[in-house]
Amino acid sequence: MSCRQWLSSAVRRLPSGAGQQQTRALSTSTPDAKGLQMLPRAGGGGGSGGGGTMIRRVVGIRGGNPNNNNNPTDALQSLLSLGDTRRSGRGPVTAEEQREIMEQQQQANNARLSVRDLRNSATTDNFLSYMPRRWKAGDVYSPRDLSPVEQKKWTKRQAPLKDIVDLLGFNPLDNYKNFSFISEFMTPFGRIKHSRETGLRPVNQRKVAKAIRRAIGMGLHPSVHKHPELMRLSNQGFPMYVPRTTSTAEKKL
């Protein structure tokens, strides 16, 4: 028996009104007939007067497998039209809800990308910490510059090329109370740094040494470790204080 004959016999068993509605609603072609099912009516046997059967269209995709959707656009449209399963029968997704879903997906993607970039930057910083020489964009180097012998030259701390006291224009003797300034020119064990490390001129080096001895002698700065206030500020991430400038008339010898 062909599908057309099977449909005709099934429609005859329905009442006249329901048969016309089913005839108008359903197609009798062979591909669409694969999506139909014969279900027994509740409350009747299989007779012309009792209840007969009821035809129901199976929701799905042609071929029998509803999950066999190879088109991503169709899959997204079907997902949005059916709505979320947690909506508990509130109907299809509205335009505003679709917009919210797309925004949530975009935020999730942005968060994922930011985490990936942060992880890559952390890895790069870990590798850069092992490089004794910092290369800049546009630097020209030879293969010899990458050898261990040349890289070892950059491990030592070089003295500043300019005098910081002359650049800022302040008198070191007026800033003996500034613990951050005093700690910059002395070691944690209380020794005054040499001019090779500070880069100061002989006159400014003597003034800085005098300011350090004055601060230690007055008990304003410890002589064997860093200043407690300096350690507290460095742990909290506060910037260090810059020495205040003094005019020529206010300079004290």
Q: pLDDT tens across 24-78, in order?
A: 444 444 444 444 445 555 444 444 444 454 444 444 444 444 444 455 566 556 6
Burial of 200 (C-beta count, 10 Å sphere; 0-12/13-18/19+): buried
Beta bridge partners of 38: 55
Residues 164 and 242: beta-carbon distance below 8 Å = no
Dump strand ranges (E) for 31-164.
Answer: 36-40, 53-57
Q: What residues make up the domain containing 3?
A: 1-58
185 in any annotated domain: yes
Q: Structurally, how many domains does the chain consist of?
A: 2
Q: Which residue bears the tokens 């910081």?
A: 164
Q: Using CB atoms within 10 Å of the CB of residue 213, give its burial: 0 to 12 exposed, 13 to 18 middle, 19+ buried.
A: middle
Give the number of C-alpha atoms closer than 13 A to the C-alpha of residue 12, restricted to the C-beta side: 8
Residue 220 makes CB contacts below 8 A (sequence gap 6+) with 176, 177, 179
Amino acid residing at 172: P
- Distance, in Å, from the CA atom of 200 to the CA atom of 134, rounded to the nearest integer, reads 25
Instruction: Tell whether 214 is covered by a domain.
Output: yes
CB 3 within 8 A of CB 31: no
Domain CATH number, residue 185: 4.10.640.10
| pLDDT tens string 157-194 | 666 778 888 888 889 999 898 888 888 898 878 889 99
169 in any annotated domain:
yes
Residue 143 lies in a domain: no
Residue 162 in contact with residue 169, Cβ under 8 Å? no
Residue 49 lies in a domain: yes
Q: Which pLDDT score, from 0 to 100, does residue 150 have?
A: 79
Amino acid letter, 197: E
pTM: 0.34
Residues 6+ apart with CB under 8 A from 48: 13
Tokens 């935020």, residue? Answer: 107
* Structure token pair of residue 7: 């449909």
- Report CA torsion sign: 223, 229, 235, 239: negative
In a domain, 27, yes or no: yes
Q: What does the alpha-carbon distance between residue 145 and residue 128 come to, in Å, rounded to a whole number?
A: 16
Length of the chain: 253
Computed over every residue of the chain, the mean pLDDT equals: 69
What's the rounded mean pLDDT across residues 206-230?
Answer: 85
- Least confident segment among 59-68, 150-159, 228-237: 59-68
